Structures are given as structure tokens and as C-alpha cells.
Amino acid sequence: MGARSMPSTLNDADNPRHVPMASGKSVQPQASPVAIGPPRGRAMLQWEGKQAPQQVIAPPAIQLEAHRALAAEREAGEPAWDAPADETTAEDPSNRLFYGDNKAVLAHLLRPPPHGPGLGGQVRLIYIDPPFDSGSDYTRKIRLRTGRRPVVGEQVQYGDRWPGDSYLQFMYERLLLLRELLAEDGSIWVHCDYRQVHRLHLLLEEVFGPENYLNTIAWRSQVARGAKVNAFYFPFSTQYIEIFAKNRAAPTLWQPQKKRLIFTRRQAAARFMEDERGFFRTSDPGTYSFARLKALHAEGRLYAPYGGDIIVDEKQRRVYASNGGNIGVKYYLTDLGDGRYAVERGVDNLWDDIPGLGTTPGEDVGYPTQKTEALLRRIIAASTRPGDLVLDCFVGSGTSVVVAQKMGRRWIAADLNYGAIQTTRQRLQRLGAAPGGRPTPGFTLWQVGEPPPPASEPAGTAVDLEIRRRAGEDGQTASHWVEVRIRDYRTDALAAWLRSHPRPDWRALVDAVEIDMAYDGQIFRSCLVDVPAHRRAQVSGLYRLPAAPHPTVVAVRITDIYGHETLVTRTV
């Protein structure tokens, strides 16, 4: 603990430089400072090099891609979007995915129009799942898209090693910026584990004020198995989510959550009481009014645990047990009709009913440290309403934004790892129509600052593909169709594996095919996406799309299993 240190300016981008674009072009960025308020807490954690920034330089954002609203579920190879993407999504500051260091991204989000979206005080929920200071490098296995999905390589996605106290300074800067973005009635949820939970709690108190502490969730993320069961001083099976309000007195938006527990007949018989109506649990009547207790009695839901009759005394407006004991209220379990019984309970701060990824393999998209959709569903349901803005600036595989999209929330996300951007993009592209038939909203991809290049240099690739105009079936629309046929795709990255294995079909090497029917050389607007629905499925390789009658540049982007992207353009 110690005194507040000298304020400083954090400037990743003091000297504006040319920001390279996907197309190879560059633009002159215009950086500007964004002011941030001082921390609020009194007790403060001290560390070497601690600096409380008062402003951060906000680099400009450059749009790289636009993905239109997805109308409905589709077969592989069918156009995913109604028509080529237009600029409308670029006007909306939400549903944006940012590739870049989140310090620069957050500063950009705070920057007022016309240079930034000016989202200060607009975000209802901030969920962040930052590195945990685990001292590890996180990798993903690269697998062929074939039956047994053989592993053909491994790739580092992000490092989680922090010299000295750099982790604390890193988190401190981001939390200060995040506080500026949070709505007065919004909340921030910080996911972490035993390594930093206590220090992050102090940081959050310093930044948001101890009076704005809401809760700490202990989430059972795994069940110890094998040798871990006997770990010295118990296995670590929980992760933590620290929750703070921007202003608890606002008050903070809160929607209590229920959980559903399911029991077999034998389990129900062991845990609950049973009468002629079924299994029930009981609870003290607490503060129930006389009228409510009378109504419960009429429904046969009051009982006297220590015997005696239930007396309804109209004169004294009291309901009690004739032998002077307490009364209880019965809550019946729902008979599911298949030998199982369900009970609803209020959710408290011990979340042991949401499994981790280890026991939900169907959700696994192969990104290390991926969280489960059920976890995010509960967080988003508790703290937001439909249409609210959700921010996750450590988005990883995109779990939070996929769930936000499914739940009709708007979102903004960022990641510094291009592999995370690709994974999130593909998960969003895979989403079908939202419940109720509403189309899934589109999204845009932006770059802020100068992220480091993708982890590995693209290995030599060779694509054999044909793009040409085709006659329409009625003969009249001959020039209005374009056919894209991919015949082969090769990458040098597979060379070592091929020395001892037969060459697989090219489709086993491809994760996604996207087509822009009017590529302008700057922003890739997808008119078609072919992203297989599951990890063994493959792309089709043959696509037929409506095209403008005049010459147009068709761009085909192929993303392979290593994350290498190849863009082929033809004027047709």
C-alpha cells in the first residue's frame, strides 16, 4: 500500500506512424489524447513502476471487413448473406470486433465523434477474461478436417508471462479505461483465478471504489481427476469472477437468476419429503403476509414440521401450528414425467452448476482458455437487457460475443491475437437466425494501432481456383452469375507431415472460404461465407453468386487450418 504515484501520459502511439492495412495500403493515423479520471479508492496496492495515467493516446481505427446480417441457416456453399455487404454496418458503433492491443482500442472507443464512437458511459456490461498470470504460453493444436482429425502442428496463441509487477500495471491501465466506458448503472465482471484474484480485488477497489463492490463468484470450472485429486493442500477447481458496479447507488441493473436442478426418483426420495402430490422441499414462511399464508393454506402448501394442525386465526390475523411449533411452506418439485424431478433455486455466488469446457466438448472450438456459453449466458442475463451494449476486450475465441449475439445484445470486442480474431469471426459467421427468426445482426472488423504480425509467417501456399461468369438458367441472366470453383489448395506448412502420410484432399486443410463480389481493395465485404458447422465438416469449394452486369472485382479469401489467409482477386 502507498501514496498515489505521479500521473503520466501513456502513449503507445506518440509518434503517429503509417498503419498497414490488410490490402497492403497505408493511411496516416491521427492520434489524440483521451482523458481518464483518477482512481477512487483509498487503500491502494503499490508496485514497482506504478503509474496512474490521466490520459491515453487514442490511435485511429481502420475498418478491415464488413459482414452482413445472416438471414437464416444455410447449406454449405449457399450464399450466407442476402446481398453484398454495404456500408450500413460501418455507421453503427456496436457489433465491432477490434484487432489490436486493448489499451489502444479502449482509448479509441472513448474518443468522441467524428474520430471515434464516443462510447464513454455507454457500456452496460463489461466482461473480461484476461490472462491469469499463469506463466504459460497457450497453444492450439492444428488438426486436419478429416474423420480422425490428426494433429499436424501446434501454434502459440498468446503468452501469459509477466516480468516483475508488469501484470498489475497492465491490468490497472485497462481497468481505469474500462471504468470510463461503463454506464452509471452498469457492472464490470473480471474473470481470474487464485493467482491474482486478491490483487485484482484491490485494484478494482482502487479504481471503482470499495463501495461499488458487488460480489465474488466462485465458479467450479473443473472437477479434479487423476493425480490432481491428491494435490498438495487440495486441488484448484475454481475460478473467480469479481463484480463491481460503476455506481452501486445508481442503482446497478440486476436481474436475479434461477438455476434448475434435476434429480432421479431415488435422489429425490433421499433429499426431499413426499406426500400424495409429490416430492417437496420446505422453507420458513419468512415475511409472507397473512393473506398470502391463507392462500398457501388453501392450496394445501402449508405444513407443521413438528406435528399439529394449521390454525388460521382471522381475529389475530395469524397462521400457526396448533402445538406451538413452526409452520413451513411446501415447494413441489416438477415431475418431468420420465422418472426425473426438477427444482428451481435462486443462484448464489457459488456456481457449481455450470460445467467447464472439459465436460462440454461439443462447444470446444480449439482455442486455449475458452469459456463455456452457459457461463456467459448467466452473466449477460443477470446484468443486461436485450439491446444493451456488452464489451469484452480480451475476447479470445469469442464466447461472450457469440452469446451476446444469441441473446439480442449489442457487443464490442477486441483481441491482440489474430488467431482469436479468426476464431471469433468464424463463430459469429456460423450463427444462424436468432431465436424467433430474427436475422443475426452483422458485424465489422477493425484494426487499431499496430498489432504485431500474426504469430507465424504464412508458409508458401498454392491455390488452384477458377472465377468466371456463367450463363443463368433462363439464358437472360447470363452475365449476372459468377461461379467460383476451388480445385486445389496446398501449403508448405504441411510438408513435414506429408513425408510420412498420404496427401489429404485439399478441403481437409481449409477452415473457411469467403467471397466479396465487389472488392474495393480496402474493406473485405463478405457476400458468401462457407464456414463448416462442425470440426469434421468441410467447405464445398463450388459457389455460384449473383453479380452486377458490369465488370467487378471478385475476391476469394481462403483461411487454412494454420490460420494463413490467401486472397485471390479476379476482375470478371
Chain residues in the site for ligand SAM (CB under 6 A): 101-102, 129-131, 158, 367, 369-371, 393-394, 396-397, 399, 414-417, 420
Whether the bond into 20 is cis, omega within 30 of 0: no
> Least Å distance between CB 117 and ligand SAM?
18
d(Cα 445, Cα 28) in Å, to the nearest integer? 19
Instruction: List the beta bridge partners of residue 467.
Output: 484
> Least Å distance between CB 409 and ligand SAM?
16
To which residue does cell 477490434 refer?
A: 98
CB nearer to ligand SAM: pick between 243 and 515 = 243
Number of neighbours of residue 52 by Cβ within 10 angstroms: 18
> Least Å distance between CB 280 and ligand SAM?
39
Determine the residue with CB nearest ligand SAM.
Answer: 396
Query: For 101-158, what is the HEC assignment?
Result: CHHHHHHHHHCCCCCCCCCCCCEEEEEECCCCCCCEEEEEEEECCCCCCCEEEEEEEE
> Least Å distance between CB 156 and ligand SAM?
10
> Least Å distance between CB 206 and ligand SAM?
20
Q: Count the helices and strands in the chain (H runs, E runs).
A: 10, 34
d(Cα 411, Cα 428) in Å, to the nearest integer? 12
> Least Å distance between CB 174 and ligand SAM?
8
Give the residue from 411, 346, 419, 423 showing the smallest Cα distance to 382.
346
Are the CB atoms for 96 and 123 separated by under 8 Å?
no
d(Cα 417, Cα 344) in Å, to the nearest integer? 40
CB nearer to ligand SAM: pick between 166 and 540 = 166
Are the CB atoms for 494 and 509 separated by under 8 Å?
yes
CB nearer to ligand SAM: pick between 285 and 366 = 366
> Least Å distance between CB 304 and ligand SAM?
50
> Least Å distance between CB 132 and ligand SAM?
7
CB nearer to ligand SAM: pick between 59 and 209 = 59
> Least Å distance between CB 556 and ligand SAM?
28
d(Cα 132, Cα 193) in Å, to the nearest integer? 6
CB nearer to ligand SAM: pick between 328 and 356 = 356
CB nearer to ligand SAM: pick between 106 and 517 = 106
> Least Å distance between CB 393 and ligand SAM?
6
Instruction: List the beta bridge partners of residue 356.
Output: none
CB nearer to ligand SAM: pick between 31 and 486 = 31
> Least Å distance between CB 360 and ligand SAM?
12
Number of neighbours of residue 219 by Cβ within 10 angstroms: 23
Cell of residue 487, nine digits: 480445385
CB nearer to ligand SAM: pick between 238 and 282 = 238
Distance between terminal CA atoms of the chain? 67
CB nearer to ligand SAM: pick between 382 and 518 = 382
CB nearer to ligand SAM: pick between 375 and 515 = 375
CB nearer to ligand SAM: pick between 417 and 526 = 417
d(Cα 360, Cα 142) in Å, to the nearest integer? 20
Burial of 35 (0-12, 13-18, 19+ CB in 10 A): exposed
Those residues whose C-beta lies under 8 Å from the C-beta of residue 104, and which sit 6 or more positions away, are 12, 13, 57, 58, 59, 448, 449
CB nearer to ligand SAM: pick between 102 and 440 = 102
What are the DSSP E strand ranges found in 288-354?
302-303, 310-313, 318-321, 328-332, 334-335, 340-346, 350-351
> Least Å distance between CB 244 and ligand SAM?
18
Number of neighbours of residue 97 by Cβ within 10 angstroms: 24
> Least Å distance between CB 437 and ligand SAM?
27
Cell of residue 414, nine digits: 477486441
CB nearer to ligand SAM: pick between 242 and 530 = 242
> Least Å distance between CB 129 and ligand SAM?
3
CB nearer to ligand SAM: pick between 253 and 420 = 420
Those residues whose C-beta lies under 8 Å from the C-beta of residue 429, and which sit 6 or more positions away, are 67, 70, 80, 512, 526, 529, 531
Quick one: CA dihedral 126, 130, 132, 133, positive or negative? negative
Residue type, 332: Y
The secondary structure element, H or E, covering residue 567 is strand 565-571
Helix axes 399-406, 373-383, angle to 10 degrees: 60
